[in-house]
A and B are shown apart, each in its own frame.
Chain A
Amino acid sequence: MFHIFCPYCQEYREEEEFHPSGQAHIERPAEPASVSDEAWGDYLFLRDNPRGIHHEMWVHRLGCRKFFNITRDTASYEILETYRMGEQPSITAASAEVRREQGVQTADGGWQTVGARPENSRLNEETPS
């Protein structure tokens, strides 16, 4: 079971309280009427399926019932960060690559998954990249 940090309740909760709701940061076309069928179809149905860093929307359905975003590694299932709606992720596929090269164990903000807590708190600090 994951221990997920809810950015609204501001504490870690059991995964059982949450539900995933698909890819995050999908923008609705500003003027749906002038969008081509193909572009509208892409907006409605096509989703990324990356191996590695992925940004997802989750809902704290049995807690505060708010939607928020999670940056997750789809290969290792590691949750790298959670952040509120309307905010931008601090970890992206590009920045994660840099971190891996520098040998940093996990990202700033903390130990989202069991086992990701670093031995040394210095390892958890922001690395200039």
Chain B
Amino acid sequence: MSEARSEARPEDNGGNAATFDAHPGADAGVTPESPLQWSRVQGRVTEEGGAAEQIRVVERPFLGHLVLRGGAITLDEAVRAELGVSLPGKPLGLVLDAEGSRSVQWVSPDEWLVIVPAGEEFELENRLRARLGDAHFAIVNVGGGQTLLELSGEKARELLMKSVTYDVHEQGLPVGKAVGTVFAKTSVVLRRPSEARFELVVRRSFADYCVRWLLDAGREYGLRVESASP
């Protein structure tokens, strides 16, 4: 892997800031470890696969998480051009692209969370920077600090009802809504991208705690936490 591909100097991306690829790939000599690495070592997280239970929790490791901050109109134009989806303007909005693999989420009036498939975030950040140019904005790659857990199955809602203070009923959390809330005394982002799925974005330092909580709360449903291999 050449250095030019994993790093971008300010003059390469619009003169705003230097960026680097947080996941340069295996040839760079760095083995990526997701926030659930410790849970995996401890045997709490198993390889993805096996029979579907009443509830299924699967980690989606190494996705690209970018936090965009700035004015809604400026960012909307850039995101629309680069991702093909519009920035959710209403509070607590969550927008997915046609494939369903890229999402933009409202976090606060001047802050949005973009989640894209692994390996896309570095190029996307550079393209957004180039497009935004001198506008007043900030883009931060927070992919190393958090990870995404996907909950599905008939009992997923019941598990969440035991864990979060937020109303996870259809009327409180319809498809296309995402909230930051309390999960077992820690903070998570709770997302509802589709009818069948809930998503939890957990902080790295609390990831193992959240997994333990999920395992405990889901014991009656035979819950296992799975993850793709690193």
The answer to whether the Cβ of B182 comes within 8 Å of any Cβ in the partner chain is yes
| Cα-based distance from A13 to B166 in the complex (angstroms) | 7
Q: How far is the CB of B45 from chain A (nearest CB, A)?
A: 25
Q: How far is the CB of B203 from chain A (nearest CB, A)?
A: 11
Task: Say whether B182 contacts A66, CB under 8 Å.
Answer: no
Binds B, one of A27-35, A41-49, A57-65, A113-121: A57-65
Main secondary structure of the interface of B (DSSP, over half): strand
| Cα-based distance from A13 to B179 in the complex (angstroms) | 10
The answer to whether the Cβ of B108 comes within 8 Å of any Cβ in the partner chain is yes
In the complex, what residues of B have CB within 8 A of residue A65's CB? 108, 180
The answer to whether the Cβ of B181 comes within 8 Å of any Cβ in the partner chain is yes
| Contact-size category for A | 10 to 19
| Cα-based distance from A62 to B166 in the complex (angstroms) | 12
We find that the number of chain B residues with CB closer than 8 angstroms to chain A is 13
Task: Say whether A11 contacts B109, CB under 8 Å.
Answer: no
Task: Say whether A8 contacts B109, CB under 8 Å.
Answer: yes
Binary interface profile of B, 165-199, with partner A (CB < 8 Å = 1, else 0)? 11000000000000111100001000000000000
In the complex, what residues of B have CB within 8 A of residue A9's CB? 91-92, 179
Residue of B nearest to A14 (CB): B165
| Cα-based distance from A4 to B186 in the complex (angstroms) | 19
The answer to whether the Cβ of B57 comes within 8 Å of any Cβ in the partner chain is no
The answer to whether the Cβ of B107 comes within 8 Å of any Cβ in the partner chain is yes
Task: Say whether B109 contacts A66, CB under 8 Å.
Answer: yes
| Cα-based distance from A9 to B107 in the complex (angstroms) | 9
Task: Say whether A64 contacts B181, CB under 8 Å.
Answer: no
Task: Say whether B182 contacts A16, CB under 8 Å.
Answer: yes
| Cα-based distance from A101 to B223 in the complex (angstroms) | 59
- Ordered by A's residue number, 26 sampled pairs between the chains whose C-beta atoms are within 8 Å are A8-B91, A8-B108, A8-B109, A9-B179, A10-B92, A11-B91, A13-B165, A13-B166, A14-B165, A14-B166, A14-B182, A16-B182, A17-B165, A17-B180, A17-B182, A62-B180, A62-B182, A63-B180, A64-B91, A64-B107, A64-B108, A64-B109, A64-B180, A65-B108, A65-B180, A66-B108
Query: Can you name 10 extra interface pairs (CB under 8 A) apart from A16-B165, A17-B180?
Result: A8-B109, A9-B91, A10-B92, A13-B181, A14-B166, A62-B180, A63-B179, A64-B109, A65-B180, A66-B109
